[in-house]
Amino acid sequence: MTGTDEYVLTGARVLLPDGRLEPGAVHVRAGLIAGVGPADGSGLAPGVRRVGLDGRIVAPGFVDTHVHGGLGFNVMSADVESVRAIGRRLRAAGVTSFVATTASVPFDRILRSVRGLAALTGPTGADGADGADLLGIHLEGPFLSPDFRGVHQQENLVEPAPARVAALLDAAGPALRICTIAPELPHAESAVRRLTAAGVRVSVGHTAATFEQAAAAIGWGARRATHLFNAMPPIHHRNPGPVPALLADPSVYLEIVADGLHVAPELIGALAALPGVRERLMLVSDGTDVSGLPDGDHHRWDGTAVRVTGGRAFTPSGGIAGSTSTLIDGVRVLLAAGVPLPVVLNAAARNPARSLGLTDRGVVAAGRRADLIVLDEEATITHTIVHGQWERP
């Protein structure tokens, strides 16, 4: 079925915008959700083709706001082949929209990648049908703390000086959606304010910030946390660090890498049980270009040596080298930890869409894009629908 087709998904359980999972049917027309009604489809477009789902779940398509690559491809190549290959892999895992995330390389190379990605923002398929949509760019680096840089190469880290921020905004235009900044760096305040004024969501991450510095960044306009807990100081009862400041402010959305390695599932489950926090949790893959590659030694696009062992990526010294998981893997990890399915699905779709100010996707409701997934009881995705179009065989 294509985005111009009209059909009704019947016999489903539908994740509604209020978080309830109820029997229902979804009417899709011209790439949009035309209506949601009773499970048998009564009252929804009589005579239109019915697609029975036998009790499977219809939920909004996932929105992954932190993706570096996959299958040997990296978004920083900024070429059509790479972006399409990454988009197809993501779609197979239920992702209908994603944000291409950069790494720390020499600044002129970052500008080249950003220009290329800006030109490719939009549908990733040749006709927009076979991959997740590229929403824009998440600049992760080079404005990071050298003490919490992870696998970002230290020689490529720089301060967010006004001239650099201006150059990035000029290169990316409206495609720059997210920028990670360590708020303790010189020029951070002016950078956060300038980026926020330009409509960019500033994210606190890869940072040595104190509680006070993180709180100040929120006051300047920061509204996200980049992979909370990772690449930042742990919580200490006398020196709390940035995490409590980010958790406490209701305006801050919180990235979580739920691959069972980056953050203990029990901790994520505890956060998901807290009203006011679970609505801000966002599953991200942090998927790198070695995602989906076989075990062994590999090199990422920026030259970083990585060893994949048991499907997980590590530096030669044993540190975590990004993630190799997808969002549906994170969904299963959290379900196994006892997090309710609606909470998990919202963390993968509704919350990240809201974090970007997107009102056209992220929930199953009339007038929204028909970006949908169909799952069975084992959280296996049986169909991914992007703008009304079913995935190809």
230 a known binding residue?
A: yes
Dist CA 3 CA 383 (whole Å): 15
Dist CA 233 CA 243 (whole Å): 8
| Residue-by-residue pLDDT tens, the chain, 393 positions | 666 689 999 999 999 999 999 999 999 999 999 999 999 999 999 999 999 999 999 999 999 999 999 999 999 999 999 999 999 999 999 999 999 999 999 999 999 999 999 999 977 654 445 799 999 999 998 999 999 988 788 999 999 999 999 999 999 999 999 999 999 999 999 999 999 999 999 999 999 999 999 999 999 999 999 999 999 999 999 999 999 999 999 999 999 999 988 999 999 999 999 999 999 999 999 988 888 888 888 877 777 788 888 778 787 877 777 778 899 999 999 999 999 999 999 999 999 999 999 999 999 999 999 999 999 988 999 999 999 998 743
Structure pTM? 0.94
Dist CA 144 CA 152 (whole Å): 9
| Residues 364 and 26 sit within 8 Å (Cβ to Cβ) | yes
Return the H-helix or E-strand segment holding 355. helix 350-355
268 a known binding residue?
A: no
231 a known binding residue?
A: yes
Domains and CATH numbers, the chain: 6-59+367-390 (2.30.40.10), 62-355 (3.20.20.140)
151 a known binding residue?
A: yes
Q: How far is CA 27 from the centre of its chain?
A: 27
Write out the catalytic residue numbers: 286
